[in-house]
Amino acid sequence: MRIDILTILPQLLSGPFSDSILQRAQNKGLVEIHLHDIREYSRDKHHKVDDYAFGGGAGMVMQIDPIYRCVEVLKSEREYDEVIYMTPDGHRLDQKECNELSLKKNLMILAGHYKGVDERVRELLITREISIGDYVLSGGELAGAVLSDAVIRLIPGVLNDETSALSDSFQDNLLSPPVYTRPANYKGHKVPEILTSGNTRAIEEWRHEKSLERTKARRPDLLED
Ligand code: 6GU
């Protein structure tokens, strides 16, 4: 998979992609992440990428031209499955959509800023608008990093068996069961006996039961469909 991220703050995104699983995925050649500084596509002598909103009001709006030019260059080099705009007014991301996106080959992600982007960017260039939750971030960069992480870890070969995505919370609309490690007794607080019983079948059943219990208590909405 290849992910191209368009941003005015590339330095904010270089961190999340240069550590841990995301770095390993790139080193293994399973994913390529390319950051593009939208300012470099500005024709303004001061590399301006935003302007006042027509009709007035507070807040600057990202202009279409630098974004359009950047997208055009990338599209001339390869076909993109989706051009995603990260925005709090998009539909809310969930695990199902991450699974779907993990099967794509080329994704472009636009991280918005200021008051938003000129509406014509959305009309002309964007194929999907995604929010990561009902709260507002100061920019789409961190949301783009969240989306990328959630998608990349699902690509076969990125995770090892130990961290396999199959047992994740949400993968089957259930939250994960509680987990424990040594010591089996910490200041009198003991690990559930069944986990040290060696009875694999019983452990699996216990875990499923705990998953259901936890989901019912914390996220009953997940059990509705
Ligand atoms: Cl995708 N962008 C911004 N700026 N805020 C958000 C978001 C995205 N998702 C939730 N809040």
Q: Pick the atom of ligand 1 nearest to 90's CA.
A: 1
Average pLDDT (189-217) is 97
CA of 114 to the centre of ligand 1 (A): 12
Average pLDDT of the residues in 171-177: 90
What are the pLDDT digits (tens) for 96-116?
Answer: 999 999 999 999 999 988 789
> What's the per-residue H, E or C state across the chain?
CEEEEEECCHHHHHHHHCCHHHHHHHHCCCCEEEEEEHHHHCCCCCCCCEEECCCCCCCEEECHHHHHHHHHHHHHHCCCCEEEEEEEEEEECCHHHHHHHCCCCEEEEEECCCCCECHHHHHHCCCEEEECCCCCCCCCHHHHHHHHHHHHCCCCCCCCHHHCHHHCCCCCCCCCCCCCCCCCEECCEECCHHHHCCCHHHHHHHHHHHHHHHHHHHCHHHHCC
Q: CA-based angle 154:159:163, to the nearest 5?
A: 105
pLDDT band with cut points at 50, 70 and 90 for residue 160: confident
More confident position, 16 or 136: 136
d(C-alpha 10, C-alpha 5), whole Å = 9
Number of the ligand 1 atom closest to the C-alpha atom of 86? 1
pLDDT at 163: 61
For the chain, give the number of residues.
225
pLDDT tens digits, one per residue of 123-154: 999 999 999 999 999 999 999 999 999 999 99
Rounded to an integer, the average pLDDT of 4-11 is: 96
Query: What is the sign, positive or negative, of the torsion defined by CA atoms of 142, 144, 150, 155?
Result: negative
Q: φ and ψ at 128, to 5 degrees?
A: -155, 140
Q: What's the average model confidence in pLDDT over 71-97?
A: 98
Q: How does pLDDT run across 194-207, given as a tens digit for each residue?
A: 999 999 999 999 99
Tell me: pLDDT of 169 over 80.
Answer: no
Counting atoms of ligand 1 from 1, which one is nearest the CA of 132?
A: 9
- Fill in the amino acid letter for 62: M
CA 155 to chain centroid: 13
Task: Write down the pLDDT at residue 21.
Answer: 87
- The pLDDT value given to residue 162: 61
Dist. CA 129 → ligand 1 center (Å):
10
| Confidence band of 20 (pLDDT split at 50, 70, 90) | confident
pLDDT band at 90 (very low <50, low <70, confident <90, very high): very high
Binning pLDDT at 50, 70 and 90, where does residue 81 land? very high
pLDDT band at 16 (very low <50, low <70, confident <90, very high): confident
For each of the domains in the chain, give its residue range(s) and CATH number, in order of start: 2-152 (3.40.1280.10), 169-224 (1.10.1270.20)
Percentage of the chain modeled with pLDDT above 90: 87
Helix axes 141-152, 20-27, angle to 10 degrees: 60
CB-based pocket (< 6 A), ligand 1: 86-88, 131-133, 135-137, 139-140, 143
Query: Which pTM was predicted?
Result: 0.94
Indicate the average pLDDT of the chain. 95
